[in-house]
Amino acid sequence: MATYTVDTAAAIRKLKDADCNEPLAEAIVSLVAEREEELATEADIRELKAQLTTRMLMVQGGSIAILYGLIRLFGVG
């Protein structure tokens, strides 16, 4: 996953501007900063979507090949 950095000073300032007391603002920003590596970016989601699409196409292709083989083996009609 891609990483990004949290501007902690700006985040604390925004929370304080929204009437959050400083200790609470610092605690909130600290929690977000600690967990930032667990957050997915838009690029992460696009990459995962592409990987899943590729795998789905491979499974579909395999299924079609199996069906074709069964039809050839047992015939139709």
CA distance 77 to 70: 13
How much is the pLDDT for 1? 53
Q: What is the residue extent of each domain of the chain?
A: 1-39, 40-77
- Which pLDDT tens digit goes with each residue over 30-59? 988 888 777 788 999 999 999 999 999 999
Mean pLDDT value across the chain = 89
Predicted structure pTM score: 0.50
Q: What does the block give as tokens for 28?
A: 């909130």
How much is the pLDDT for 58? 95
For 25, counting Cβ atoms within 10 Å of its Cβ (0-12 exposed, 13-18 middle, 19+ buried), the class is: buried
